[in-house]
A and B are shown apart, each in its own frame.
Chain A
Amino acid sequence: MELKLRSANNVQILELAGRFDTYTAGEVRQWIEEAAAKEPANIVVNLQGVDFVDSTALATLVQGVKNCRQLNGDLRLCGVQQSVRMVFELTRLDRFFEVYSQETEAVKAFAN
Chain B
Amino acid sequence: METLKVRGTLNEIDPVIDYAVSAAYQAGLNEQGLNRVRLAVDEIATNIVVHGYDEAGRSGDLSISAEYDEDQLTIYLEDTGEEYDPRNTPPPDLTTTLEKRPLGGLGVYLALWAVDQFYYEHKQDRNRSILIVQKPCDHPPCLDT
Contact = CB atoms under 8 A, between A and B. Distances in A.
A85 to B, nearest CB: 12
Interface in A37-87: 52, 54-56, 58-59, 62-63, 65-66, 69, 83, 86-87
A27 to B, nearest CB: 13
A93 B14 CA distance: 25
B130 interface: no
B4 interface: no
Most chain B CB atoms below 10 A, which of A23, A58, A66: A23
Of A22, A59, A62, A69, the most chain B CB neighbours within 10 A belong to A22
Given A54-B43, A83-B35, A90-B113, A23 B107 contact: no
A59 B110 contact: no
A91 B92 CA distance: 9
- If over half of B's interface residues share one DSSP class (helix, strand or loop), that class is named, otherwise mixed; here it is helix
B98 A23 contact: no
A83 B38 CA distance: 11
Contact of A66 (B94, B98, B110): B98
B10 A59 contact: no
Given A22-B13, A23-B13, A55 B110 contact: yes
Interface of B: 10-11, 13-14, 31, 35, 38-39, 42-43, 46, 50, 92, 94-95, 98-99, 101, 103-104, 106-107, 109-110, 113
What are the nearest 6 A-B pairs in CB distance? Answer: A55-B107, A55-B106, A59-B103, A92-B94, A96-B98, A22-B46
13 contacts: A21-B42, A22-B10, A22-B13, A52-B35, A55-B43, A55-B110, A65-B98, A69-B98, A83-B31, A86-B35, A91-B94, A91-B110, A93-B101
